[in-house]
Amino acid sequence: MVQPVLLYRPVSFRNNIKVSNIFQILKQYASPVDIEEVTGKVGEILAVSADNYSYENLKLIYSVIDLTSLNSTDNESKIKAICTKINEFANHYPDLPNVAGICVFPSLAGCAKYYLKVPSVRVVSVAGGFPFSQTFFEIREQEARLAVKAGASEIDMLLNVGKFLEGNANAVFGEIQKLKTSIGKIRLKVILETGALKTLDNIKAASIIAMEAGADFIKTSTGKLETSATPEAVYVIAKAIKEFYLRTGVKVGIKPSGGISTCEDALIYFTIIKKVLGDSWLNPKLFRIGASRLTNNVLLELEKLRPETSTI
């Protein structure tokens, strides 16, 4: 593998980059996205993704799921029930890994923290004015802090899509940088809302801004728009993450999210990550899938494929 060339500051100093420098930094990634190339590469991946249908790969996919509940009907009873299923999972499936996280609203982060008894499963909270980020930044920042105080170990925030689309990269960069500084070592996933960004060039630029501002993960979507994760968007994000890694030596994670409910869907994104970023990204520290219905479908497929020696 090509060794990364450290062109500027490593991750521990990214939050010291001044807002005024973001346009200069973006110029280093100035090559436009080749739409025909992306379409061709994604087509190749779609053609071979089914080849990755295996017991071991589906186990890995299960282990990177952020089990998500982000509905207006959510309450403590519902989150407690989800946590109970996670807590009891090993009793029913001792040979399988648990999910990576449970993703909830900020007001329910404390509830998830209280009822969740599996140390490896993270409490993930959307914060920062989810799902549109159309409120005062001070409120968004405070919401993230309160979610962390309540027990969230990861924060999923939405990039300010409106400001991005009007060309205000400085404001977008500054907000992400400030919010990351506010939550310190807590892992930050920045949601691009790729369906609203419209173009692949916009998706690439938004990915770079987020990474330079301190994002630990790039997440595709809120799941609240008609268009959520797509193979093309995830491919472009993965390529941007690889370019960032080769420039800085920093590995940023990736989280396809929204509308992913079947094993076939999940295997497409698994294959994109494997092809573009390599096997070292295929773990919960660098790869997540945001989903609510996927878990049951993966378990059904694992039951069909289970080895005779398995106890599930």
CATH topology for the 11-305 domain: TIM Barrel (3.20.20)
Nearby residues of 44 by Cβ (< 8 Å), 6 or more positions away: none
CA distance 186 to 148: 8
Sole residue written with tokens 């295929």: 282
Enumerate the active-site residues: 156, 219, 255
CA distance 304 to 207: 38
Please determine, for residue 224, whether its predicted confidence score (pLDDT) is greater than 90.
Answer: yes
What per-residue confidence (pLDDT) applies to 312? 56
Given a contact cutoff of 8 angstroms between Cβ atoms, the answer to whether 132 and 158 are in contact is yes
Pairing of strands 65-68, 253-255: unpaired
pLDDT (tens digit per residue) in 161-193 = 999 999 999 999 999 999 999 999 999 999 999
Retrieve residue 111's tokens: 């509830």
Cis peptide before 131 (omega within 30 of 0): yes
What per-residue confidence (pLDDT) applies to 225? 94
pTM above 0.85, yes or no: yes
pLDDT (tens digit per residue) in 226-235 = 999 999 999 9
CA distance 56 to 310: 12
pLDDT band for position 26 (cuts 50, 70, 90): confident
CA distance 68 to 112: 12
Please determine, for residue 66, whether its predicted confidence score (pLDDT) is greater than 60.
Answer: yes
Percent of the chain exceeding pLDDT 70 equals 92
pLDDT band for position 310 (cuts 50, 70, 90): low
Sole residue written with tokens 């977008």: 172
Side-chain-side CA neighbours of residue 266 (13 Å): 30
CA distance 198 to 194: 7
pLDDT (tens digit per residue) in 11-20 = 444 555 555 5
Retrieve residue 171's tokens: 């404001």
